[in-house]
Amino acid sequence: MTSSTAHNPGSLPAKPLRESSLSGCLSCGVRIDGGRRRYCSVACRQRLRRQLNLRTGLLKALEVRYAGFHFNEMFLFLDVLPVQSVQIYSFWYLRGAGQKPANDFIRLADQLGERWWAEKKRTNKRYVASRQLLVEALKNQVALNSLTPDEILQPKGGGKSFMYLKLDRRDLGSRQFKLLVKSAYRREVMRHHPDHGGRAATFRRIQSAYELLIDWAENPTFIKRRGLPDKWFYSGHTNRWVQPLNARR
């Protein structure tokens, strides 16, 4: 929702503070104590991505090339860069009390969609409906390059091997990964070797995990990811949202 049509225009700032809730879960904003975790749970991350991907129709109608989404305790922000545009259009929405960002995003997308369809019905012209929605948006709130996606090489592989060796998947990016695997293997072998009272089936899983991860360390594989370090990122080419990157490279 834009500033001109927010819940209480008289009490809302024309330019709400845009700081993101990066200190908490990037899907729901709850505080995460310690460690390198960026989400409170996999289910929480998947829920927000699912809701984002269920409501891409408006972005397609606006012919959006790239979009970014983030939130703080008070507001949601949706920034869009239409195809052949040199200007980013921003929509913001006052958060509902006690609501998750996924629920707030649903309301934002539904309200924008309703306004688009009302204008489309009135004029019978899609481009007029899109133009009217963009006219209502805030402009020049963020730099044009803020929606230029980064590309990173992300390590791929390992499966459940990390669980069996009590390793973090992010350790794949460590230069000392092979040493970490060997150290974890020795630790788990001491705990689960059948000679020490461990189960043979568990020991075999640990052995297989060790061999798989050592093989990866010697022959690493990667996948290329595109996205933004501080926002959920949408590409019109794929018509999909992806979670924020770990860091700008």
Report the largest interatomic distance among the alpha carbons of the chain, rounded to a whole angstrom. Answer: 79
pLDDT computed for residue 204 by the predictor: 92
User: Can you tell me the distance from the alpha carbon of 222 to that of 157, in angstroms, rounded to the nearest whole number?
Assistant: 8
Closest CA to 66 of 49, 48, 47, 90: 90
Mean predicted lDDT score pLDDT of the chain: 86
Can you tell me whether residue 8 is helix, strand or coil?
Answer: coil
Instruction: Reply yes or no on whether the pLDDT at 37 is more than 80.
Output: no
User: Can you tell me the distance from the alpha carbon of 28 to that of 191, in angstroms, rounded to the nearest whole number?
Assistant: 37
Give the CA count within 13 Å in the CB-facing half-sphere of 236. 17
Q: Which two tokens stand for residue 161?
A: 């091997």
Percentage of the chain modeled with pLDDT above 70? 88
CATH code 1.10.287 region(s) in the chain: 157-220
User: Can you tell me the distance from the alpha carbon of 162 to that of 159, in angstroms, rounded to the nearest whole number?
Assistant: 7
Closest CA to 146 of 71, 227, 33, 45: 227
pTM flag (> 0.85): no
CATH number of the domain at 157-220, out of 1.10.287, 1.20.140, 3.30.70, 2.130.10?
1.10.287
Instruction: Reply yes or no on whether the pLDDT at 207 is more than 50.
Output: yes
